[in-house]
A and B are shown apart, each in its own frame.
Chain A
């Protein structure tokens, strides 16, 4: 079911498979920081053509904790890519050196091409603006761990729902479950793309698109915040106008349920007030911490360390 498989899009996984990953991740969490040599002598190639902090480091930590080792690069500078080598040739080389390739690339579909070329499993650690499947696994795992379920919850996604791959991936992932409602709250220019809208309408997900977070805050179980990037706005004045309306501050959360959790794929800049960090709502650092056990679970399943 998992061994030898590529991880390109969260849509490639069934709900049952995602729940299997959660159960294994829970076991990995219990191992804690001790080494569990399930993947001894295995090599992970971390091919990060685009910068990454959490994703790369948590994959590396996960592989080390499972007794494996890591090779790779964290940007294309200094590699033969800078000399003009194409992606296909780079992937062929990594395929012969490693047992699994974890790849991040700016170009959409790069991971799919890599998976066609490589014999070993390829894990998409983010390509283009649509897919970041392991982030979606971590997001769902966080909700499941913190609230005990995903079904029946009111989940809001806010910020840039058009260009951000984390938002797209969790939205795809939520179509595998039965949340009570998914509210998509963003400025008009950052609403999900047409492809996503069509996909959601074709799914059974109950979703709602709006621009005002204050109207729904009191009903939310999960508030998933993403960063609005200044460079997405042709007019800087327009950015200044919208950025404040999607800023999560203690006053807004004072109207939320006591059990509401706030998630963020990080890095966050100023979309969440620093005062929120210390509140019981803030689960984004815990979410980042869950990155290691979830990625341990996935690696162990793909490489046959657990069944």
Chain B
């Protein structure tokens, strides 16, 4: 939760989502992953490199008037595996979720190997990855064994958005 000094910088939101405990410097990438470009109507507050006992530096994102779908929560886990998602209603936290990086990630990313069967458009394959490392994120394609790094994950969402 925020402490008093942070509240001086970023005010509370009335309805929406607060994503806390994002690794320092990753807030903009979290917004990219969520497909938030800033052109929407939501009021968005971003705090980058706030002091954190757990993470050293952390980022916080507050999105007014937007709740997250479970698939969006999973996507955040790929780049911010310790994030907490707070749903806010009438200025109060009504739901608090810790993201959890599943053992296998299905369908959220593409393999970076163009010669992987999961990139062949006419084959019924859902790209799937196992998690080789959580911090920093390192995924392994279940089909061809190619490594997908944190930066490659972010790049995919950037290109997609």
Contacts and interface: CB of A to CB of B under 8 A. Distances in A.
Contact of A128 (B122, B124, B144): B144
A176 interface: no
B143 A195 contact: no
B37 interface: no
Chain B interface residue bracket vs A = 10 to 19
Interface residues of chain B: helix, strand, loop or mixed (majority): loop
Interface string A92-115: 000000000000001111101100
Contacts, number: 47
A112 B123 CA distance: 12
Interface in B116-161: 116-118, 120, 122-125, 141-147
A113 B123 contact: yes
A107 B147 contact: no
A86 B145 contact: no
Nearest to B122: A86
B146 A195 contact: yes
Contacts of A130: 144-145
A112 B142 CA distance: 9
Given A86-B122, A88-B123, A88-B124, A107 B116 contact: yes
A195 B124 CA distance: 26
Contacts of B113: 108
A87 B116 CA distance: 13
Given A109-B144, A195-B145, 19 more contacts: A86-B124, A88-B124, A106-B115, A107-B120, A108-B116, A108-B117, A108-B143, A108-B144, A108-B145, A109-B118, A109-B142, A112-B142, A113-B123, A113-B143, A128-B144, A130-B144, A195-B146, A195-B147, A198-B147
The 10 closest A-B pairs by CB, nearest first: A109-B143, A108-B144, A109-B117, A109-B144, A86-B122, A113-B117, A110-B117, A107-B117, A112-B143, A88-B124
